[in-house]
Chain A
């Protein structure tokens, strides 16, 4: 057996396949854009967007309450369009990370990211790339994820009672500084959990948010989590998400030559960073996985007897996105069951939004189940619920990826312990 090959830069970027991925990514924002204008009139949308922009955005602020369904859909669509445009303009290949990035922005645009508060983060990462004399595309993925800290911009601008000019200046300044430092920090902190926490920027943002809020509290400015949640859009959101998941599944089936060939290979991967399913099992199977994971997530919410609202939509869209980048049924379900079981026997209500999103976002720990088995995944989910319910107060809710912060702590502690029980080399 003798094989030779030479790899050249960008030799494997299939332009037509890349275009297909972009079109598929556009399905959700286009749908939301159209539905936004069908469900609300232009005046409701504009006033809703105005309210969303002026909101403090701390966890959990459901934009469906603040701005209504039309404005929330338009907010999510605009941010998604912008990120897809950046990927296109900067010629960044649409891999698993890019897909996850677009979906996480679309999801969190239902409760925390808006058309005002994300831009200072983009500015900060841009200045970092200029300072390091690198292209902006090299930090684009991190930028999409780093908008987790967007609520700091809103909170400083509108939440501290400062005069509007001072508030805006402070918010934009802090957002820009955060964008500047988040790249080296996230690259460094990934070593703490060895890639077993998929939402690594959430872990990083948790530390940044904790330090920042501690400093603010030292100056007598307190910031605390809040709970603004909707219940009235459950059915329409459920049908949209189910339809979208089925569409992804069907597109994947057709892109995979009308078959499921190779799909089962996905279960061989632990999901530990970096597991790019687009590269490893192909785009067709990746979309099939995304569709299946979307349906599993919705089923989890239904089993928990929860009402689908902004944060839960964010959780489901994030799972769908990260099903291109590490999550599959085998490594995700044990974590979901761990959180669900903890919800039943702990003090929290299993049907509350906080517990449900702890399950959905808790799947950041899926690589533990993938690497160490079902029981380890179950335990990680079980512990995660308690940690995530306590850790939000540290950063006052300014880190939207609170579960990524919690997941990073759980993984950093649990992985060395699990290794201690292993007798392998």
Chain B
């Protein structure tokens, strides 16, 4: 099995856990299942940018997609409520648009099929 749908669910799980752990009071998420790619849009307010894990967000999502890491570790995404697995999320998506504005964050992730 390729577990493609489950991987998208896991990415959403990880992102929502991350946001709620780091101060989100309001969070909106949408998922588009397009012909050649999935598009995940996440908007949230009240992000604690002083937190080092939050400031590391750019770095973690801005890594190349790595199928070899995904194959090995994708089931870990969304599994822990201690530490975030954003590095795996970064390795599972092809493209990430990230906009920080004041205390809000808008994330748009693309994962090609």
B-contacting residues of A (Cβ < 8 Å)?
A: 1-13, 92-93, 95, 97, 132, 134-135, 137-142, 183-184, 186-188, 190-191, 194-195, 200, 268, 270, 272-276, 279-280, 371, 425
Q: Report the minimum CB–CB distance from A98 to chain B (whole Å).
A: 9
Max chain A Cβ within 10 angstroms of own Cβ: one of B2, B52, B56, B67: B67
| Contacts of B64-113 to chain A: CB distance below 8 A | 64-76, 79-83, 85, 87-88, 90-91, 93-102
Residue in A5, A12, A184, A195 whose CB lies within 8 Å of B63? A12
User: In the complex, what's the smallest C-beta–C-beta distance from A334 to chain B, in angstroms?
Assistant: 17
Chain B interface (Cβ within 8 Å of chain A)? 1-2, 21, 49, 52, 56, 58-59, 61-76, 79-83, 85, 87-88, 90-91, 93-102
User: Do A2 and B80 have beta carbons less than 8 Å apart?
Assistant: no
Q: Do B69 and A371 touch across chains, with their CB atoms under 8 A apart?
A: no
Q: Across the interface, do A279 and B72 meet the contact criterion of CB distance under 8 Å?
A: no
Quick check: B58 and A276 within 8 Å, CB to CB? no
Chain A residues near B59: list those with CB within 8 A.
Answer: 279-280
Inter-chain contacts of B102 with A (CB < 8 A): 1
Nearest opposing residue in chain A for B100, CB measure: A3
A141–B63 touching, CB < 8 Å: no
Q: How far is the CB of B105 from chain A (nearest CB, A)?
A: 10
| Chain A to chain B contacts (Cβ below 8 Å), 14 pairs | A1-B102, A2-B100, A4-B99, A5-B58, A9-B65, A93-B64, A95-B69, A134-B67, A137-B67, A138-B68, A138-B71, A268-B52, A272-B83, A371-B82
Of B61, B70, B73, B91, most A-chain CB atoms within 10 Å: B73
What separation, in Å, do the CA atoms of A276 and B87 have in the docked complex?
8
CB of B12 to closest CB in A, whole Å: 17
Q: Which 4 A-B pairs have the closest CB atoms?
A: A138-B67, A7-B96, A10-B64, A138-B71
Residues of A within 8 A of B2 (CB): 132
A132 CB, nearest partner CB in chain B, Å? 7
- Is A187 in contact with B100, judged by CB distance below 8 angstroms? no
Residues of the A chain whose Cβ atoms lie less than 8 Å from the Cβ of B93: 7
Residues in B neighbouring A425, C-beta threshold 8 A: 21, 81
Checking A3, A188, A191, A274 against B69 with a beta-carbon cut-off of 8 angstroms, the contacting residue is: A274
Using A2-B101, A7-B62, A279-B59 as known contacts, say yes or no to A188 and B75 having CB atoms under 8 A apart: yes
> Most chain-A Cβ atoms within 10 A of its Cβ — which of B49, B80, B93?
B80
B83 CB to closest chain A CB, in angstroms? Answer: 5
Specify which chain B residues have a CB less than 8 angstroms from the CB of A279 in the assembled complex.
59, 63, 87
Cα–Cα, bound, A6→B107 (Å): 11
In the bound complex, do residue B87 and residue A190 qualify as a contact, i.e. CB atoms below 8 Å apart?
A: no
A8 CA / B94 CA spacing, docked (Å): 6
Name the residue in A6, A184, A270 with the highest tally of chain B Cβ atoms < 10 Å from its Cβ: A6
Q: Given A8-B95, A195-B76, decide whether A1 and B67 contact each other with a Cβ distance below 8 A.
A: no
Q: A1-B102, A140-B68 are in contact. List 7 more A-B contacts (CB 8 A).
A: A1-B49, A2-B100, A3-B100, A9-B95, A187-B75, A272-B80, A272-B83
Neighbouring A residues of B76 by C-beta, 8 Å: 190-191, 194-195, 273-274
Docked Cα-Cα span, A268 to B53, in Å, equals 10
Contacts of A134 in B (CB 8 A): 67, 71
With both chains docked as a complex, state the minimum distance between the C-beta of B53 and any C-beta of chain A, in angstroms.
9
A12, A92, A195: the one within 8 Å of B62 (CB): A12
Check if A135 sits within 8 Å of B75, measured CB to CB. no
Contacts of B69 in A (CB 8 A): 95, 97, 141, 274
Tell me the bound Cα distance from A213 to B35 in angstroms. Answer: 47
Report the separation of the CA atoms of residues A139 and B67 in the bound assembly, to the nearest whole angstrom: 8
A292 to B58, CA, bound (A): 29
Query: Nearest residue in A to B85 (C-beta to C-beta)?
Result: A274
Partner of A1, one of B21, B68, B101: B101
Query: Once the chains are docked, how many angstroms separate the CA of A194 from the CA of B63?
Result: 23
CB of B25, distance to nearest CB on chain A (Å) = 14
Given the interface pairs A4-B99, A7-B95, A272-B83, the reply to whether A137 lies near B68 with Cβ below 8 Å is: yes
Expressed in whole angstroms, the Cα–Cα distance for A167 and B88 within the complex equals 41
Do A187 and B96 form a contact, CB below 8 Å, given A2-B101, A12-B62, A279-B59?
A: no
